[in-house]
């Protein structure tokens, strides 16, 4: 029986232990991945330390990974007879970035990313185009892309039209640290706000929001973002038109003033990281004072879990971002988010891995220390552990 090494979670609150596990065979619609790199997420640390979403032990967790397809199960598209517009997978050839499904499999250890071999539904994987992207760069993609795309869907924002092709962009910094800048895309009337834009999901929130802004069929004229002052230039480079310092005590007033200057309203906010209250304060200004312009409910999509004492406001809906718990719906969501949207925009050069990967160790034994470092706080970087070359 084939075996592989895994970073096993033995019990709630305990560090991972290196153990040998039997290597599973892929079932229908599944891929067996030789994991090359894993990216670390706050949820990984919470699951390790608090047992969140783990019903039984021992198990293997982890979400973000990149690797090589080793084996495929029945009903996996191979590109031989399938529509070329979708993803296809060939054993020993296809390099992928993938979003592990452990939490949807009751933490079945075969489906956690923190091991040398991992099972994944093909809908949760995207082939890596060409050979220019490194394993560590690819590992930054799955969660970072899924969360903002899930946010746009949850808030009911129409997806970028399938026929729309946006040329790769390099946006120069036209905004200073106080948020002054130039209005773009005249004729549209909304700005999309990403709060915490230098986080992993925040950077992809900016990139995907830029594509919404550039879609001629969308209502968005601008992408607004908040970030620490040291990261403003980077957030601009991803496509934000204005960037505001969330540490500024007057940040809410600055955002509202800029929107009035640009002639736009804000009724959608993606909270990538940070506090809910300032996002509510921004949107409240618009549904209180611009009721003639806003006929729909304002919405916040929150990546962090909603605090139990979160204040409710009339005219404002707050949504915790999470994929569907219905398997067929979730698979279809991921098939679009990764296999259609991400695949297409990686090929076109519209999306690039962000933020920059930071390799904090090699081998599964480095994951515990990497998560400890993550808990101390990082900004504008994605912590990576390399498993193999």
* Structure-block tokens of residue 320: 């915790």
What is the pLDDT confidence band of residue 388, given thresholds at 50, 70 and 90?
Answer: confident
Inter-axis angle of helices 276-289 and 251-262, to 10 degrees? 40
Q: Give the start-to-end residue ranges of the domains of the chain.
A: 3-133+325-386, 146-160+187-320
Which of 286-295, 310-319, 362-371 has the weakest average pLDDT?
Answer: 286-295
* Mean pLDDT across 25-37: 98
Average pLDDT for residues 346-373, to the nearest whole number?
97
Structure tokens at 182: 């130039």
> What is the tally of helices (H) and strands (E) in the chain?
10, 15
pTM of the complete model? 0.91
Euclidean distance between CA atoms 162 and 152, whole angstroms:
16
pLDDT at 167 over 50: no
Give the span between the Cα atoms of 93 and 75, in whole angstroms. Answer: 18
Which DSSP string do the residues of 110-174 spell out, in sequence order? GG-SSBSEEEEEGGGEEEPPSS-S-HHHHHTHHHHHHHHHHHHHHTTPPPPPTT--PPP------
Residue with tokens 């004229």: 221
Q: Name which of 82-91, 92-101, 186-195, 348-357 the model is least confident about.
A: 82-91
Q: DSSP letter string over 212-263?
A: HHH-TTSSEEEEEEEE-GGGHHHHHHHT-SEEEETTSTTHHHHHHHHHHHHT
* Percent of the chain residues topping a pLDDT of 70: 90
Q: What band does 315 get if pLDDT is binned at 50, 70 and 90?
A: confident
Tell me whether the CATH fold assigned to 3-133+325-386 matches the one assigned to 146-160+187-320: no
pLDDT for res 83: 58
φ/ψ of residue 187, rounded to 5:
100, -15
CATH of domain 3-133+325-386: 3.90.180.10
Is the confidence at residue 187, as pLDDT, over 70? Answer: no
Distance of alpha carbon 340 from alpha carbon 88, whole angstroms? 11
Q: At what angle do helices 327-334 and 141-154 cross, to 10 degrees?
A: 110
pLDDT of residue 84: 61
Give 89 or 183, the one with higher predicted confidence. Answer: 89
Superfamily name and number for 146-160+187-320: NAD(P)-binding Rossmann-like Domain (3.40.50.720)
Distance of CA 70 to the CA centre of its chain: 25
Pick the closest to residue 28 from 117, 119, 101 (CA basis). Answer: 119
Q: For residue range 208-255, what is the model confidence (pLDDT) as tens digits?
A: 999 999 999 999 999 999 999 999 999 999 999 999 999 999 999 999
Please tell me which residue, 233 or 161, carries the higher pLDDT value: 233
pLDDT of residue 185: 45
Per-residue pLDDT tens digits for 252-286: 999 999 999 999 999 999 999 999 999 999 999 99
> pLDDT value at position 82?
53
């Amino acid at each position: 029986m084939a075996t592989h090494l895994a970073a096993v979670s033995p019990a709630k609150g305990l560090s991972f232990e290196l153990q040998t596990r039997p290597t599973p065979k892929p079932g229908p619609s599944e891929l067996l991945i030789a994991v090359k790199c894993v990216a670390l997420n706050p949820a990984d640390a919470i699951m390790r330390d608090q047992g969140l979403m783990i019903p039984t032990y021992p198990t293997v967790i982890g979400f973000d990974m990149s690797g090589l397809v080793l084996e495929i199960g029945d009903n996996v598209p191979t590109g031989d007879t399938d529509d070329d517009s979708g993803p296809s997978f060939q054993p020993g050839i296809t390099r992928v970035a993938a979003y592990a499904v452990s939490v949807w499999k009751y933490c079945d250890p075969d489906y956690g990313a923190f091991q040398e071999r991992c099972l994944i539904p093909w809908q949760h994987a995207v082939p890596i185009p060409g050979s220019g992207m490194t394993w560590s760069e690819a590992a930054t993609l799955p969660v970072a892309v899924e969360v903002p795309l899930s946010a746009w869907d949850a808030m009911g924002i129409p997806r970028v039209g399938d026929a729309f092709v946006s040329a790769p962009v390099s946006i120069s910094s036209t905004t200073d640290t106080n948020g002054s800048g130039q209005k773009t895309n005249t004729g549209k009337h909304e700005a999309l706000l990403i709060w915490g834009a230098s986080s992993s999901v925040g950077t992809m929130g900016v990139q995907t929001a830029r594509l919404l802004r550039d879609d001629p069929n969308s209502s968005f004229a601008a992408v607004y973002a908040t970030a620490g002052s040291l990261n403003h230039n980077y957030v601009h480079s991803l496509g934000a038109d204005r960037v505001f310092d969330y540490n500024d005590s007057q940040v809410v007033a600055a955002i509202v003033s800029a929107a009035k200057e640009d002639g736009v309203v804000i009724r959608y906010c993606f909270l990538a990281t940070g506090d809910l209250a300032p996002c509510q304060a921004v949107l409240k200004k618009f549904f209180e004072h611009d009721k003639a312009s806003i006929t729909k409910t304002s919405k916040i999509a929150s990546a962090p879990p909603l605090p139990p004492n979160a204040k409710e406001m009339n005219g404002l809906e707050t949504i915790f971002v999470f994929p569907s718990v219905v398997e067929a719906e979730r698979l279809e969501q991921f098939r679009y988010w990764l296999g259609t949207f991400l695949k297409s925009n990686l090929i076109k050069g519209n999306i690039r891995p962000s933020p920059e990967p930071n390799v904090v160790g090699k081998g599964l034994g480095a994951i515990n220390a990497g998560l400890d470092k993550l808990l101390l706080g990082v900004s504008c970087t994605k912590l990576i552990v390399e498993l193999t070359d």
